[in-house]
Structure 1
C-alpha cells in the first residue's frame, strides 16, 4: 500500500431489494437492476441450501446484520452494502439488502483502507436497513435508500495517515487485548503466521483461487473495528497482486463473535449458508483462531523464523509486524 492515497471512489449509485414486514411481497429499487439480479440469484441459491437444514429458521432468525464488500482484484467496480435477515408481511423469510455500487481506480490500493473509507457510509446504510426491517410504514426509509451516497467528506490522505499512525502506536499486546484474546487458548502470533502459510501459495498458483474462505476475529468495540479490519486486509493484500480474484468480504457477529469473513472465489451459495449455519461455516471457512498447527511449520521454514521470533514480543508494533510479514512471506 503506497503512501500517496490518490484513490477515488466515483459514480456511486444506490440500490435495495428483498423482503420487509411492511410489504406483502418483494421490494426493489428502480436502479441497479443488473446488480440486484446477480445478488438475488446468490441469495436465492444460498437460501435453498439453508432450507435443507432442519433448524434453518432458528439459524436465520438469530443472525444479525451483515456488512459486505464485493470487489475484484483488477476490476474497476465495487459493491458495498448491508444484508439483514428479514421477512415480508406474511412472514415469508428472505433478507433485505441495500448497497452502493461505485467505480474505483485500484482495488488493491483501496482494499486495506476500505473499512475506514466506507465506515460512515456503512453506518448510515446500516441504520436505514435496520429501520426498514422493523417499521410498518417503509415509504420514507425506502425513499431514503434511493439517495444514499458515499461519504462526500472522506479525506483519503487523512484516512491513510490515521491507519499508519494506528500501526505505529499499537503493539501486539494491544491488538491482542482489543480482539479479546488475552487469556484465550489462541494467540495473535499463531493467527498471523497462519495467514502467511495459508496464502503464500497464491504468489505462485495465482490462477487458482482458494476454494475455502477465512474467518478472522474482530474487536467487540465498534470504534476499533474498522482499524482491525484494515490490519487483517493489509496482511492479506500481500498475496493478491498477481491473481484475477473476486473478493467477498463480510463483517458480522458470527455465532456470537465479531468476525471478518473473506473469500477469494466470488460469492458461491455455500458462503451464504456459512453465514447462518455453523456446520457449514466449519466446512467452508478456515477459522484462523484455531492455528496452533503453525508451530510445526515455523520450525521447518527458515524464511519465516525471523517473523516467528518477532511475534513472541508483545511490545512489537503492528507496523513492524506488517513490514516483517511482507519481507518473510513475499520478499517485499
Structure 2
C-alpha cells in the first residue's frame, strides 16, 4: 500500500534503511541522516550493546524473527513505521538491519490502532524484503524500491484506512470481552480488569510525572498466527487509547515482538528504553521496565477514584455478552470521569 493522508505540501514522507548484511563488511546507510532515523539508530545501538556475548545469546539473537515497530521521534515531528531484523556483517559483528517509512506528524493520521491494521501488508512485505536481503542479496535495491513505492502518495491508501476502520469496528463489535480476559489470564495470570484499570490510572500518572518516571512497557499477548496478531494488537491499542486520550496522555508507541515465549505487543506510553528494545534480540526484560499490572501496591491504585472504577468495570465485565466495542466505550467514559 502507499501512504495517502491529508497533508501540507511542504512536508512529505521519507524512508530509511540502515544496518548490516552478512555478505558485506560496511554499515549500510540509506537516508539514515534523517532526524527520526538517526534517533532510531542511536536507540538500537544502545540496545545492541546490552546483548549478552555468550554463544547462547548470540545464537538466540540470530534466530530471532523481525519485529515491527511504530515509534515517534522525540520532538513528535515524525512517526516511523518499519521492521527490525537481527543481522550481522561478514566479520560476524552483530547489528540489525532496519527499514522504515517516516510519516510527518503534520499528516492527519488515523488512530494508531487503525494505522497499524491498515499497514499490515506493508509490514509483511517489508519483513520479506529484509529476510531476502539477508539470505540472498548484497545490495538493498529491491528493499529500497519497495520503500520508494510506499512513499509515493496515491489514492489507494485512503481506501486501505477505510477498510481497516471497518474491519476493526466489526471485530470489536463481534468479539466478546471475555476472550481478551481469557487470553491475558492464560499468558500473564492477571485479569483484563486489572489491565484496563492500569491503562486508565497509569496513563494519568505518566501524564503528570512523565519526566521523573522510568520508561516502561505493557506486554500484551498476541495470537501466534500472522494477520490475527495484527488485529489483536489493534484491539489492545484501541482500548489503551480509549483510556489514555481523556487525560491527554496518549503518546503510544509499540513493538510487535515474536519472543521465545510467544508473540507480544510491547506497548510504550512514551519513548522506549534500550532495554525494552533488547527484547527484539531475544534478551530477557528486567521486570522494572514492565508495567506491573498485578502489583497491589502500585501507586496508581491509590487514586481516589480507583475503587469506584474497579466496581463499575468489574460489574460490566461479569456480563458474558459484553463486546470489546462496548468495553472500549466504557473505558473511555471512566477515563473522562476521572481526568
Contact map agreement 1:81 1:97 (CA 8 A) in 2: yes
Q: 1:257 aligns with which of 254, 262, 267?
A: 262
Unmatched segments (≥5 aa) in structure 1: 1-5
Cα 1:12–1:219 shift into 2, 3 Å: same
Deviates more, 1:311-320 or 1:183-192: 183-192
Q: Give TM-score, length-normalised by structure 2.
A: 0.80
Contact map agreement 1:7 1:110 (CA 8 A) in 2: no
Secondary structure, in 3 states, of the residue corresponding to 1:75?
A: coil
Contact map agreement 1:209 1:265 (CA 8 A) in 2: no
- Aligned residue in 2 for 1:211: 215
1:302-313 aligned at under 5 Å gives the runs: 302-313=308-319
2:325 aligned with 1:319, yes or no? Answer: yes
Question: d(CA) in 1 for partners of 2:108 and 2:77?
Answer: 7
Q: CA deviation at 1:14?
A: 1.9
Question: d(CA) in 2 for partners of 1:330 and 1:108?
Answer: 23
Q: Give TM-score, length-normalised by structure 1.
A: 0.81
Contact map agreement 1:275 1:281 (CA 8 A) in 2: no
Cα 1:325–1:139 shift into 2, 3 Å: closer
Secondary structure, in 3 states, of the residue corresponding to 1:133?
A: helix
Q: 2:195 aligns with which of 169, 191, 195?
A: 191
Q: 1:276 aligns with which of 275, 281, 292?
A: 281
Secondary structure, in 3 states, of the residue corresponding to 1:259?
A: strand
Q: 1:230 aligns with which of 230, 234, 243?
A: 234
Q: CA deviation at 1:180?
A: 7.8
Contact map agreement 1:72 1:244 (CA 8 A) in 2: no
Contact map agreement 2:32 2:38 (CA 8 A) in 1: no
Question: d(CA) in 2 for partners of 1:141 and 1:210?
Answer: 40
The Cα RMSD (Å) is 3.6
Cα 1:77–1:107 shift into 2, 3 Å: farther
Q: How many residues align?
A: 324
Question: d(CA) in 1 for partners of 2:335 and 2:249?
Answer: 20
Greater share of residues in helix: 2
Q: CA deviation at 1:183?
A: 9.6
1:1-332 aligned at under 5 Å gives the runs: 8=6, 11-30=12-31, 32-51=33-52, 55-71=56-72, 75-105=76-106, 109-138=110-139, 140-145=141-146, 147-149=148-150, 152=154, 153-154=156-157, 155=159, 156-175=161-180, 179=183, 185-202=189-206, 204-205=208-209, 211-237=215-241, 238-240=243-245, 247-276=252-281, 278-286=283-291, 291=294, 293=296, 301-331=307-337
**Deviation digits for residues 149-195 of structure 1, max 9, x if unmatched?**
15842223332233222211111234456x48669844434433333
Unmatched segments (≥5 aa) in structure 2: none
Q: CA deviation at 1:43?
A: 1.4
Secondary structure, in 3 states, of the residue corresponding to 2:220?
A: strand
Contact map agreement 1:203 1:239 (CA 8 A) in 2: no
Contact map agreement 1:207 1:243 (CA 8 A) in 2: no
Question: d(CA) in 2 for partners of 1:164 and 1:68?
Answer: 23
Q: CA deviation at 1:30?
A: 4.3
Moved over 6 A (4+): none
Contact map agreement 1:200 1:239 (CA 8 A) in 2: yes
Contact map agreement 1:190 1:292 (CA 8 A) in 2: no
Question: d(CA) in 2 for partners of 1:19 and 1:65?
Answer: 14
Secondary structure, in 3 states, of the residue corresponding to 1:99?
A: strand
Q: CA deviation at 1:278?
A: 4.6
Contact map agreement 1:252 1:258 (CA 8 A) in 2: yes
